[in-house]
Amino acid sequence: MTTKVVKGSLWTLAGQVAPLPVSLITTYFVIRMLGSEAYGVLILVGLIPTYFNFADFGMGLASTKFGSEAHAGGNPEKEAQVVRTAGLIALIAAAPISILIFVFSPTIAALFNVPSTLLPEASLALRFASVTFVVNFLNGIFNTPQLTRLRMELNTLVTSGFRIAGIITMPLVIYLGGGIIGAVTVLFITALATLLGHLWVSGRLLPQLFDITIDRSIIRPLLKFGGALAVSGIAATLLVNAEKGILTATVSTAALAHYSVAFTLASMMAMFTTALTHSLLPAFSQLQSEEKRTQLNGLYTRGVRLNFILLVPVTAGLLMIAKLFFTLWAGEEFGRESTLPFYLLAAGAGFNIVAALPHISITAAGHTSVFAKLYWLELAPYAIVVWVLSSTYGVAGAAASWSIRVIVDCFIQFYLAKRIANMEFVGGNLLDLSIASVMMFVPCIVVFFYGLSAVPIVVFAICFLVYCFVVWKRVLEKEELLWFAQIIRISNSKL
């Protein structure tokens, strides 16, 4: 199972990395062609529908969990019925919200401090986005047969292939005069093409998918599981995006653009974790029986430790290059305004990444109602902190607010995973790992004195080699070393 999860995660990671250089290059032109205000509006148009991520009624995760259990039980008919039923529930739940966004798009755009000259474009763009987000919900459901079989390479080729095509097309459409409307039109066409791709691939893996029967006995467990996710999703969506909306309302859309650029780089830290998540949810769902508890806990512990081990050098490297990266990529204005927010976001992002494992374990165990209680309890204090810090410190205040919340949330998630899902984390030699991790951030201090020159780069290389040596000799356990050796032997034999 570990091999399948890692292989699937690497494929998903490749699907995230492949569009990255393309996105960095095209965004460079998009920002300059649109300007910071119009680019902020484009970000806002994409952001507003995400406030309604709960609108699928949790069917994306529900389809993966129950579809994985049906697949593990060797019941393709039930798996297909789970996917079809989840898709129908998501469509019924999301359609009213999509219609409301479509109808009230002018009012919504005005509420978010959009400049008057850009209001007509923002309103029309929101109408496109209201349809796109429903299509994206269906994408997250009809890829289930790929996920249950851990065929992440197929999911990656479909999702990332069309995404790259859309990323390349967007600046061309803007250059030809499409503006914000052209950009969101490209996003809609990309989402629709992705859905058609998932239907074709999933249909090949699960021919029963295109039957029309619905098993009514599946509806109740899907609604129970997904309903808790939907309730928690309302609060989670506000928690994840509150600082962006409040920042726009209290400062400007340009401030949102500065924050979003910083958040984009911080999000890169989570790429492997996100990839791991796609594989871990179906894997954890298939290991819920008591006789597989040891295997489940082992996979959980290994996932947490692997996340942390990979996170440290990635974070240190991004901290070193942040200011230069923002300046070259988005311009001097963003290099000046986005660097400090990124430093603050990076601190929280590290904790948020590690917290993904306990979150997945609780979800796979079916205890989704706990998230509803947790997120709603967090929401009011967080909104107050965001409003105060954003109003006082602008973009930096919004970034600090986000990090404070996710750090607190991380510790709570680990506690809940142990108490509710009976997940035990065995840390191993954390002292040596902690010392090596602290050493990895020495180059970040050197950058302040020498800039991003040969000196800090050499220091980073030395620290990285020492870090790898300590991890290999003192942190990784015997069975993990044997597993790595086995993977290397298999790879060499294939070559």
As for how many domains the chain has, the answer is 1
**pLDDT top residue among 39 and 190:** 190
**pLDDT top residue among 46 and 89:** 89
Is pLDDT of 6 > 70? Answer: no
- pLDDT interval class at 9 (50, 70, 90): low
**What is the percent of the chain where pLDDT is above 70?**
91
- pLDDT interval class at 489 (50, 70, 90): low
Query: 122-167 pLDDT, tens per residue?
Result: 888 888 888 888 999 999 899 999 988 888 888 888 988 999 999 8
Angle between helices 59-72 and 119-142 (to 10 degrees): 10
Region of poorest pLDDT, from 33-37, 101-105, 136-140: 33-37
Measured at the CA of 320, the angle between CA 318 and CA 324, to 5 degrees, comes to 95
Query: Residue 323 is encoded by which pair of tokens?
Result: 């200011």
- Phi, psi angles (nearest 5°) of residue 484: -60, -45
Residue 105's domain comprises 2-427
Q: CA neighbours within 13 Å on the CB side: how many for 436? A: 24
Span 42-66, average pLDDT:
81
Q: Is residue 292 part of a domain?
A: yes
Region of poorest pLDDT, from 154-163, 190-199, 420-429: 420-429
Looking at residue 101, its pLDDT comes to 87
Looking at residue 447, its pLDDT comes to 83
Span 294-304, average pLDDT:
80
Most confident of 33-37, 66-70, 286-290, 478-482: 66-70
CA dihedral (154, 159, 163, 166) in degrees, to 10, reads: 100
Looking at residue 85, its pLDDT comes to 92
Region of poorest pLDDT, from 10-24, 318-332, 341-355, 360-374: 10-24
Most confident of 9-13, 177-181, 300-304: 177-181
Q: Is residue 374 part of a domain?
A: yes
Instruction: Name the one residue in this structure whose structure tokens are 């851990």.
Output: 150
The identity of residue 216, as a single letter, is R
Looking at residue 491, its pLDDT comes to 47
- pLDDT interval class at 276 (50, 70, 90): low
**Phi-psi map region of 57: left, alpha, beta (phi>0 left; psi -120 to 50 alpha):** left
Looking at residue 8, its pLDDT comes to 66
**pLDDT top residue among 147 and 296:** 147
Looking at residue 302, its pLDDT comes to 80
Q: Is residue 454 part of a domain?
A: no
- pLDDT interval class at 191 (50, 70, 90): very high
Is pLDDT of 12 > 50? Answer: yes
- pLDDT interval class at 494 (50, 70, 90): very low
Average pLDDT value for the chain: 83
- pLDDT interval class at 81 (50, 70, 90): very high
The three state secondary structure string of the chain is: CHHHHHHHHHHHHHHHHCHHHHHHHHHHHHHHHHHHHHHHHHHHHHHHHHHHHHHHCCHHHHHHHHHHHHHHCCCHHHHHHHHHHHHHHHHHHHHHHHHHHHHCHHHHHHHCCCCHHHHHHHHHHHHHHHHHHHHHHHHHHHCHHHHHCCCHHHHHHHHHHHHHHHHHHHHHHHHCCCHHHHHHHHHHHHHHHHHHHHHHHHHHHCHHHHCCCCCHHHHHHHHHHHHHHHHHHHHHHHHHHHHHHHHHHHCCHHHHHHHHHHHHHHHHCCHHHHHHHHHHHHHHHHCCCHHHHHHHHHHHHHHHHHHHHHHHHHHHHHHHHHHHHHHHHHCHHHHHHCHHHHHHHHHHHHHHHHCHHHHHHHHHCCCCHHHHHHHHHHHHHHHHHHHHHHHHHCHHHHHHHHHHHHHHHHHHHHHHHHHCCCCCCCCCCHHHHHHHHHHHCHHHHHHHHHCCCHHHHHHHHHHHHHHHHHHHHHHCCHHHHHHHHHHHHHHHHHC
pTM of the predicted model as reported, rounded to 2 decimal places: 0.67
Looking at residue 495, its pLDDT comes to 45
| 34 touches 179 (CB < 8 A) | yes
Query: 331-343 pLDDT, tens per residue?
Result: 888 888 888 899 9
Query: 221-271 pLDDT, tens per residue?
Result: 888 888 887 887 778 777 877 888 788 878 777 888 888 888 888 887 776
